[in-house]
Each structure stands twice: as C-alpha cells, then as structure tokens.
Amino acid sequence: MTARQVVSAEVAEALAEGRPMVALETSVLAQGLPHPRNLDAARAMEGAIRDAGAVPAWTWVEGGRVRFGAAWDDVERLGSPQVPTSKVARRDLPAVVAGAGLGATTVSATLWIAYRAGVEVMATGGIGGVHLGTGDVSADLLEMATTPGTVVCSGPKSIVDPLATLERLEELGVLVVGYRCERLPFFLAREADVALEHHVRGPKEAAAFVRARRELSIDSAVLVCNPIPEANAMPAGEVAQAVRACEGRAEELQVTGKDLTPFLLRCLAERTNGASLEANLALLENNARVAAEIALELADGAPGSASVS
C-alpha cells in the first residue's frame, strides 16, 4: 500500500491477523440502489459476511486517497442522495484521487483495490457485460482478465446480453464457474439459456479452483456465478420485457456510458413495481454470504497466496 491507499483500523487488524475478508463495491450503494434501501442492502451484506466469520471491507475514494474499509458513517455518506458521489471504475481512480472527491467504486475498481491490499475475494450483485447494439462493454470484463481475484456475483446484469458477455469473458481468459448451477445465472432471473463448462458444488470446491489459479500464477480472476435464491427470482420473460422497454426509454433520452446501468436499474424497479429491487437486495445478501464462505475456506491453511506489489 502507498500513501494514496489507506485501510480502516478494523481492516488493518484483520489483515495483520490473516482473517478472512470480503471486499465490497460501493457503487451499488451510491448509484445502483435507491435510498434508504441501499443502506438496508449494506446492513444485510455486512451481516451475512460477519455471521459467516469474515470481515466486510467496503472500497471507496475520498480526500485524495483510495480507501479499503469503511465505518458505518462512511457507508451512510456514500449512500446519501444529498452527497455528490462519483462512480469510479479502475480507470477513473487517478482522476478522482487527484481531484480529492468522494467516489464509489465499481467492480473493476474494487477488484484492483482488493488485490493491492492482498485480499482475494469480493462480492457484488451482477457484473457488467456486453450491451448489444450500442458497442458498450463494461470495464469489469477487462479488469477481471488482468487482475487476480475471486468475484462472486449472480452472473451478468439482466440488462446485458448473457451469451455475448460469456463469450467475451472466455476470449479474455476469465474462468467462469457456476456455483451449484450448470447454466449462467442472469442476475434477477435464475438463469439464462447459456450452459457453463465449469461448476462447483460449494465453497470448498470453489476454493480449490482459486488455489489452483494461484499456484499456476494465472493473473486473471475467477468469476463465481451464484444464482439468485429461487424464492426471490423473477421470471426471465418478465425481466426481458421490462429491459426492452427500459432500453427504449434510455435510447429516447440518449442515456449512455456510465449513466446507462444506473438508469436501467431504476427504470426496471419502476416498471416491475419494485420487484426487481427486492430481488436485487436478496441476491446481494446471498452473494455476500457465499463470498464469505469461500474466503473462510481459503483462510484454512490455504497454500499459494497471491503476491502483491
């Protein structure tokens, strides 16, 4: 870590003691979910990680520094609609640090920050992907191709093309693993009609994949795709219909770039009368729990820890 990268007291203690930890992105709080449900999600994710025996570590930017770990006051600020907060991918880190602004991290920034701190596992909701027809490809994909780590998610967000996203991940050399599933989870829906080549039955097998990646010195991430709990899943057809309507609205309003995903998620919540929001909260908590369970398995005398420079 450098002077531009600082950790909270809790995270510093956990790192010194070698305790299992799960890194968490903060864009989901600042841009992805409405207030106050974003704070409900934060509490649930932290609780799931702590209940499993691991330490939650939010990633964010403030005062010219990249931060790893946050007090609850910080989480509330990041999730406040009254506080201007930038959406920060890894590419944006130098600009936001130089400007000394408040920034909430995406998957790509979180994966990079966690790796620099020596933390293997992170949790999120859904990753970005390939938006057909727009040429928009999420920075998440390239970051996973170039930064080692383990990303636990519920597959690509339902607003992207699942097959094109999986093909791009394969092209980039990212190992995609189904967690207790054989088809690609599709965020709000249990699955897309896309078969996965690799899958595991639980945290022990997932940890074995991660250890093998470390021992082979492969400098890319393992993407663990964990389906939304069945009780909270939405019908795939209903999600697809709502997404098409929201994409049309985005095109009409000329919403593009990093504003597109937050816009589509808000639109989905409106068109589904809040059902997509409830599903999102459920999968975030579930992914945090699974990530913590994998982190615990890796902490149990795991050989071959990734080196950090």
| pTM > 0.85 | yes
pLDDT score, position 223: 98
pLDDT score, position 305: 33
pLDDT score, position 131: 86
Q: How far apart are CA 141 and CA 144, in angstroms?
A: 5
What range does the domain containing 199 cover?
A: 5-299
Instruction: Tally the domains of the chain.
Output: 1
Instruction: Pull the structure tokens for residue 213.
Output: 């990646």
pLDDT score, position 175: 98
Peptide bond into 227 cis (omega under 30): no
57 in a structural domain: yes
Contact 104, 27 (CB under 8 A): yes
Across the chain, which has 309 residues, the per-10-residue mean pLDDT values are 88 96 98 96 98 98 98 97 96 96 97 97 97 84 98 96 96 98 98 97 98 98 98 96 93 88 92 96 98 96 34
271 in a structural domain: yes
Active site residues: 25, 157
pLDDT score, position 1: 64
304 in a structural domain: no
- CATH at 187: 3.40.1790.10
307 in a structural domain: no
Looking at residue 244, its amino acid is R
pLDDT score, position 300: 82
129 in a structural domain: yes
- Cα 245 to the center of its chain, rounded Å: 25
306 in a structural domain: no
308 in a structural domain: no
228 in a structural domain: yes
Contact 94, 123 (CB under 8 A): no
